[in-house]
Amino acid sequence: MRRSFYERPALFFGVVFFGFIALSFVVAVGPAIEIQAKHKPLPGSQPMTPQELRGFDVYIAEGCPYCHTQQVRPLKMDAVWGRPSVASDYARLEPLHWWMETPGVLGSERTGPDLTNIGKRQPSEIWQLIHLYDPRAVVSWSIMPSFHSLFEVTSSPAADATVVPVPPDFAPSHGKVVAKQRALDLVAYLLSRKQAPLPEGVGGEAAAAPAAPAAEAGGGGAQDEGAMLYSANCASCHQAGGTGLTSTFPPLKDDPVVNDDDPTEHISTVLHGAHGRTINGVQYPVAMPAFKDMLSDAQIVAIVNHERSSWGNSGKPVTEEMVAKVRKEGAPQ
Amino acid sequence: MRRPLTVAKAPIDEVIDADHQLTRLVFAFITASAVWLVFGTLVGLYLSLKFRWPEIDHVPWLTFGRLRPIHTNTVFWGFASNGMIGLAYYVVARTSRQRLHSYKLGWISLALIQISVVAGDICLAAGINNGAQEYREYIWPVMALFAGALVLTCYNFYWTISNRTTKEIYISNWYIMGALLWTISLATIAYLPFYQYGFAETAIQGYYMHQGVGMWFTPMVLGLTYYFLPKLLNKPIYSYSLGVLAFWTQMVFYTMIGAHHFLYSPLPWWLQTVAILFSIGMLVTVVAGTANFLLTMKGSGHAVRNTYAVPFLLVGVVYYFVGSAQGSFEALRSLNMIWHFNNYTIGHSHITMYGFVTFLIWGGVYGLLPRLSGREARQLFIGMHFWLAFIGVLIYGVSLSIGGTLQGLSWLAGKPFEDSVTLMAPYWLWRAIGGTLMFGSHLLFAYNVWCMLPSKSRDEAVETYTEVPSAS
Ligand code: HEM
Ligand code: HEM
């Protein structure tokens, strides 16, 4: 009596096994081999320094990718995070230890902001350190965990130690907060997260194909571009209500520069940053970063005008010509 | 007597005279499974509190990024895998009408799995992971132990099935053997590093993440249900051909759709499109499977009312349909755009892994254990387990589906990122409430399993009984 296909275990399970492996080569292993061979790092990108690599290791060990993506989709709603990611952006990734595989940084959940461009968006090392020590010290609504274990509290920091100026409400009652090496490494990694420019024609398939859906798909645009840009670029320090944080970041509400009818210094501060001023009698330990490479003239107009017309401020509105003029004059001496 | 939460159910009708060694092995797996469920979901519950109170602790190994993989890997490899494999040992031997090929290998598999989960969790707590890639966070030396357990189990099942005394290979065994063979290949492919440098890692990750749930948990519990449902209803499965159709489409369609986890990523556009098409195609598989189960149940309303195992199976089958249909929609570009990256996906994960997989495992456990040991758990507690878990996961799924959709719409409207975090507060609170009910039900489940364990005296009685024939 002949046994049917379904009664012959070796044959039946053989088909089940090898069929799956064959399909796996079509949809996973094959494409993976091809991607690995085809996509080289972008010419404008840099390999990570040893310190950044150590920081990357902390990033993976602490599971930051469970809340943070590093993947910008070619959609209008993702444009705030940067240009669409291309395969070459990830080409330099490789395992960090013998027991590890190539880490995954694209992520599947955006509980916190995308970090593809965090080095551009938030280049202040001190801000990053305060934020890691206690995110709620700088972002009141944050639900990100505090990473106290990356810091130590000591009453007599060494001369070369990085003392973190944690705002008083969040600082420990005694002693100073000092960043451990792991914290400095992690911040070095974060600050290195900047998208390299795409050379003409690179990006290829991945960037080109979705262009059409990107154009039609979603993204109603901000109702108020100025407010949106302010919240994305400035609010982390100056806070949503323009209130600043006591003795760490100055308030922009009722600020003399913001309410000055001559907008030159206001514009110049945003373009070139600032450090060491005495504002309303207070000196701030942190520097204000420069935004000239990050924001276009039109975006600066939107932000500056937002600041000049919010929270009771009444500075005169500025125009794109004014910004262009200040930009041309270069940084003040 | 009227009971507040449950109706009185009929006591079990028969005690199976299964061989004693098999009984012990099955109970060992199920006990381990229950312990891991309690531990894994205690961690899950704690995580859900952290969304409300991020400052709840400052202990490095309790930080969110380390606990989250402990939650997912414990419930995957500890709870669900132990539970499914334990039930499968019984089903394979029973439907083959054959003694298990080797008990020793069964016990070794059991030990390997527990060692890998303990070692894996300790590594994760220490910040040692495989690169923060979901569900393959255990480093390879640890995962190799787990894979070893699967290879031994697979070998054991294969020879049991090969030596069967029945003519056919019952359909449950197709699914169970399929799941083992697929998962062994999957783990191997996912852990070999050579083709995973740079962005290539993502091509494998999408495939792995999807096959992990689609080629391991799904076929395993479906296979078990093909046994337990007809058995508990005391009638044959509605249609064998529907089962055949569902099996082959499962293997072909499901394998193709991993890239839907990375829609709009730089993965080749054709790969994403293939994934979407087959995600829609999966409706065929899911409708065939669900219809087959529901039509088998048709006319057996009394069984739902009168037994405590069948309601669990019913809920599992319905969630199989709901969760999978939801998944097919999530795979459409226009909807994925909104639902990707936010809590909607977390809702889907629990609707499927909990509503579907977990409920079916429970159905099998409550259906089988009392019949093996002759000891029943208290009906009141089983009833409470059912309702707490059922209401809990309903709250979990509904709140995150609504919250996640609102998150997506807020991004689409170009609102500040802050809104998508603050708007979630009430939904995260509801998730924690649902999670508390679920966790409470798991404590009851563990207690119930304890009540169903074979009694010592019976144990010894059976022991002497089984030894007699082997001596003759
Ligand atoms: C008391 C019951 C449970 C609670 C409170 C709970 C809670 C959680 C929380 C808070 C997360 C993290 C979500 C995030 O990162 O946004 C999570 C993730 C997850 N849980 Fe649970 N969980 C429970 C039970 C389970 C069970 C029994 C399973 C599986 C059998 C499971 C599977 C998962 C999976 C797969 C993820 C990852 C989801 C994704 O990345 O899409 N959970 N859970
Ligand atoms: C027809 C069947 C199904 C389809 C088409 C489907 C589709 C999807 C899609 C598109 C995602 C990605 C969502 C996103 O990140 O945007 C997803 C995630 C997920 N699905 Fe399904 N699904 C199906 C059935 C299932 C089943 C049966 C299970 C569980 C056994 C399951 C478990 C999961 C889990 C755990 C995730 C989260 C993965 C992660 O990001 O960590 N799905 N599914």
CATH number at residue A129: 1.10.760.10
What total of structural domains would you count in chain A?
Answer: 2
A205 contacts chain B (CB < 8 A): yes
Which chain A residues are Cβ-neighbours of B268 within 8 angstroms?
Answer: 31, 35, 205-206
Q: Is the CB of residue B156 less than 8 Å from the CB of residue B99?
A: no
Q: Which of A157, A191, A225 is the last residue of a domain?
A: A191
Q: Which run of H or E residues covers position A176?
A: strand A176-179
Between B17 and A31, whose confidence is greater?
A: A31
Angle value at C-alpha B400, between B396 and B405, nearest 5 degrees: 160
* Distance from C-alpha of A294 to C-alpha of B462, rounded to nearest angstrom: 77
- For the domain covering B301-466, report its CATH number: 1.20.210.10
Inter-chain contacts counted by CB atoms under 8 A, chains A and B: 281
Q: Is the CB of residue A108 less than 8 Å from the CB of residue B349?
A: no
Residue B209 near ligand 2, beta carbon < 6 Å:
yes
What are the structural domain ranges in chain B? 14-169, 184-299, 301-466
Q: In chain B, whose CA is at the least distance from the CA of A140? A: B418
Task: Please check whether residues A57 and A141 belong to one and the same domain.
Answer: yes
> Average pLDDT of B451-458?
75
User: What is the model's pLDDT at position B1?
Assistant: 37
Residue A96 resides in a domain: yes
Which chain B residues are Cβ-neighbours of A64 within 8 angstroms?
Answer: 65, 132
Residue A18 resides in a domain: no
The identity of residue B410, as a single letter, is: S
Does residue A113 register a pLDDT over 90? yes
If one counts every other C-beta atom within 10 angstroms of the C-beta of residue A281, the result is 5
pLDDT digits 0-9 by tens, A212-234? 333 333 333 444 788 888 888 89
Residue A4 resides in a domain: no
Q: Which of A158, A191, A224 is the last residue of a domain?
A: A191
Task: Please check whether residues A226 and A142 belong to one and the same domain.
Answer: no
Helices (H), B51-139: 64-73, 81-95, 103-125
Between B455 and A249, whose confidence is greater?
A: A249
Task: Please check whether residues A126 and A220 belong to one and the same domain.
Answer: no
pLDDT digits 0-9 by tens, B157-206? 999 999 999 888 999 999 999 999 999 999 999 999 999 999 999 999 99
Q: Which ligand is nearest to the CA of B213?
A: 2
Q: In chain A, whose CA is at the least distance from the CA of B268? A: A206
Residue A77 resides in a domain: yes
Residue A40 resides in a domain: no
B426 confidence band (pLDDT: 50, 70, 90): very high
Task: Please check whether residues A181 and A219 belong to one and the same domain.
Answer: no
User: What is the model's pLDDT at position A293?
Assistant: 84
Task: Please check whether residues A178 and A221 belong to one and the same domain.
Answer: no
Q: Which of A83-92, A147-156, A265-274, B13-22 shows the lowest mean pLDDT across its residues? A: B13-22
Name the β-bridge partners of A109.
B341
User: What is the model's pLDDT at position A286?
Assistant: 85
The identity of residue B321, as a single letter, is: F
Residue A237's domain comprises: 213-329
Residue A19 resides in a domain: no
Task: Please check whether residues A164 and A277 belong to one and the same domain.
Answer: no
Residue B78 near ligand 2, beta carbon < 6 Å:
no
Q: Is the CB of residue B391 less than 8 Å from the CB of residue B110?
A: no
pLDDT digits 0-9 by tens, A284-324? 888 898 898 888 899 999 999 999 999 999 888 999 999 99
Task: Please check whether residues A59 and A105 belong to one and the same domain.
Answer: yes
Q: Which of A34-43, B5-14, B235-244, B443-452 shows the lowest mean pLDDT across its residues? A: B5-14
User: What is the model's pLDDT at position A228?
Assistant: 83
Residue A42 resides in a domain: no
User: What is the model's pLDDT at position B8?
Assistant: 59
- Residue whose Cα lies nearest atom 10 of ligand 2: it is B331
Q: Is the CB of residue A318 less than 8 Å from the CB of residue A308?
A: yes
pLDDT digits 0-9 by tens, B286-331? 999 999 999 999 988 888 888 889 999 999 999 999 999 999 999 9
Angle between helices B103-125 and B64-73 (to 10 degrees): 170
Average confidence score pLDDT of chain B: 92
Q: Is the CB of residue A271 less than 8 Å from the CB of residue A290?
A: yes
B163 contacts chain A (CB < 8 A): no
A81 confidence band (pLDDT: 50, 70, 90): very high
Task: Please check whether residues A176 and A242 belong to one and the same domain.
Answer: no
User: What is the model's pLDDT at position A294?
Assistant: 83
* Distance from C-alpha of A165 to C-alpha of A178, rounded to nearest angstrom: 9
Q: Which of A115-129, B107-121, B337-351 shows the lowest mean pLDDT across its residues? A: A115-129
Task: Please check whether residues A154 and A87 belong to one and the same domain.
Answer: yes
User: What is the model's pLDDT at position A6?
Assistant: 87
> Average pLDDT of A180-188?
97
User: What is the model's pLDDT at position A247?
Assistant: 82
Q: How far is the CA of A118 from the centre of ligand 1 (A)?
A: 28
Collapsing DSSP states into helix, strand and coil, what is residue A147?
Answer: coil
Terminal Cα-to-Cα distance of chain B (whole angstroms): 49
Residue A30 resides in a domain: no
- Residue whose Cα lies nearest atom 33 of ligand 1: it is B72
* Distance from C-alpha of B270 to C-alpha of B253, rounded to nearest angstrom: 16
Q: Which of B64-73, B162-171, B435-444 shows the lowest mean pLDDT across its residues? A: B162-171
Percentage of chain B with pLDDT > 90? 86
Task: Please check whether residues A169 and A263 belong to one and the same domain.
Answer: no
Q: Which of A241-255, A306-320, B7-21 shows the lowest mean pLDDT across its residues? A: B7-21
